[in-house]
Chain A
Amino acid sequence: MKRVFLCNVSELSVNTVRKVDNAEHGDIAVYNLSGQYYATADLCSHATASLAEGDIEDDLIVCPVHWGTFHIPTGEARDFPCEINIRTYKVEQEGDDLFALIADKAEDPSLIAKG
């Protein structure tokens, strides 16, 4: 299990998402949904797109390219053309810092995005 620094809480206002570059595991999208923090793979599982450039609608992230959606807490693909779930990471808060916990191997292979 690896612990990867994401950003400061103060950098992530309510109902926003930002992209955190990560060459090793793939870029990570970190979300603040009404004060609750989540992290998912940033790369859409359909075509090349950074989910952090998309809009948040309730607890869904809308891909900016073809407007498919994923459920932020679970990574589940919800709307066409997205059909492959994206990987999610547990988020830990320590003071003002947010970290993602990345398993060496994804617990569920279906949650590994193609990126």
Chain B
Amino acid sequence: MANRIKTIDITDALPDIDDFCDIPNARISGEIFHRQDIYEQELEKIFARCWLFVGHESQFKKAGDYITTTMGEDDVIIVRQKNGSHKAFINACPHRGNKVCFSESGNARGFICNYHGWSFNIEGNLIGQHESGIYESSQFDASKWGLREVAQIDSYKGLIFATFDAQAPSLEEYLGPMTWYLDALFDNQEGGTEFVGGCIRSTMDCNWKIAAENFVGDILHAGWTHDSAARAMLGGAVSKVSDFEESYSVNWNGHGYEFALDTVGNVAVLGESALNKYLHTIKPSVIDRLGEFRANMIGSVSSCTIFPNFSFLPGQNTVRIWQPRGPNKIELFTWVVVNKTAPEDIKEKWRKGAMITFSPTGVFEMDDGENWEYCTKTARGRVTSQQDLFVGLGMDTYLEETDLPANVYSGQLNEANSRAFYQYWGDLLKSPSWDAMPNNNKGKAKAGPKASQISDKTDGIGEK
């Protein structure tokens, strides 16, 4: 049989976390983007414990369909089983540790190690070896040496997540009320979504948190960073976000979604009017399905990160993982997501549009890349890295009175989600176990009765 992974020991927390992550005072420091010891703590206390996005159900059509990806820096294989479920295994042979699957995706009867011919079926069981007689005469117990199975795997609306930590809370609890917002992109039509085309892989010389934080709640950069690209794509500037009458930042467990309610602000930057038209065409059915509020989010000016490193942009329909590769480097795994029921030509326009804007050569990705790389590179300076960085916008924008779920803040030009992201990050680095994690959620765990209808700015901006 496959074998459950051994839970790793959690080492002591770094002593100076509050020095470089002081969220009550809206302050972080650049060393979090550079220090090797902080990075090693992240691999252990974040990437070996949190739920990580590993694939979309549409990537698996039949038993034996697999993809390879990484969870943190750990190589894993995700493979569809005969009963339609998915299993995740460490992509390393339990004999000498060689990688057992080198392809990014495909269909296989199982996985055979190149080194000594250990053979595993798709359930992860060790079913044989080259020169099997010597194992038999050594009283070898094959049932103890299957592929190491990742502790938990689960999915939400086609999105498959896995965690190395058997003690981690369920995916449902981990995502909490963020699922209500995820539905705006991933469940706005019957049949849900699918990935089109393959995985686009690229690297950037930046820390993974810079990218994750950009998507968790930084629309502020867009009007400035992307001005020239927007003029090229749209023939005009990016929407002036401060002109939107109503917009929000919402977060939970370090995840964050910032959004306006303008329906097509994001999709418009792809420069394909047919896509704007498609969203307007499906909108009445989205209102029936999700209510008016979320129907306004389907392609609006918005972005989201599910902690720690899974992000997407509704409208541009780009989905990505920021894979950590040391403190100064990320590998981007990027896909394009579309509604399954969308017409083929619409799917193709989305694939091309996403490639033109958010891919290694995409005009918007280029803009972001240089900023992110220099946010990381400046932290190499011993003195520079010790200086404070400001994350204090929107400190008094928490909305007490709202039927919207999660921790809700007024306005998307707001660093509330960035603060929540870094707070959760710091809490994980400090916590020896999930039970020790402080609960900083203060909003509703479930949407209130009026959440789907409200579209007027709610009263009740309260204390933080």
Contacts and interface: CB of A to CB of B under 8 A. Distances in A.
Interface in A8-67: 46-49, 55, 62, 64-67
A65 B119 contact: yes
B129 A47 contact: yes
A65 B131 contact: no
Contact of B133 (A48, A62, A67): A48
Interface string B121-137: 10000011111110010
Contacts of A81: 117, 130
B109 interface: yes
Contacts of A48: 128, 132-133, 136
Contacts of A65: 119, 127-128, 132
Contacts of B136: 48
Contacts of A66: 112, 117, 119, 128, 130
A64 B109 CA distance: 8
B79 to A, nearest CB: 16
A81 B127 CA distance: 16
Contacts of B133: 47-48
B121 to A, nearest CB: 7
A47 B140 CA distance: 15
A47 B109 contact: no
B121 A64 contact: yes
Interface residues of A, number: 11
Interface in B128-187: 128-133, 136
Contacts of B131: 47
Interface in B417-446: none
Given A64-B121, A65-B119, A81-B117, A47 B112 contact: no
A67 B109 CA distance: 8
Contacts of A62: 109
B117 A64 contact: no
Nearest to A46: B130
Interface in B91-126: 109, 112, 117, 119, 121
Contacts of B119: 65-66
A55 B129 contact: no
Contacts of B112: 66-67
A9 to B, nearest CB: 27
Contacts of A49: 127-128, 132
A37 B127 CA distance: 28
Nearest to A114: B133
A47 B127 contact: no
Interface string B59-81: 00000000000000000000000
A62 B119 CA distance: 14
Given A64-B127, A66-B117, A55 B109 contact: yes
12 contacts: A47-B117, A47-B131, A48-B132, A48-B136, A55-B109, A64-B109, A64-B121, A65-B127, A66-B117, A66-B128, A67-B109, A81-B117
Given A48-B132, A64-B128, A66-B117, 19 more contacts: A46-B130, A47-B117, A47-B128, A47-B129, A47-B131, A47-B132, A47-B133, A48-B128, A48-B133, A49-B132, A55-B109, A62-B109, A64-B109, A65-B127, A65-B128, A65-B132, A66-B130, A67-B109, A81-B117
- Which 4 A-B pairs give the minimum distances between C-beta atoms? A65-B128, A48-B132, A47-B132, A65-B119
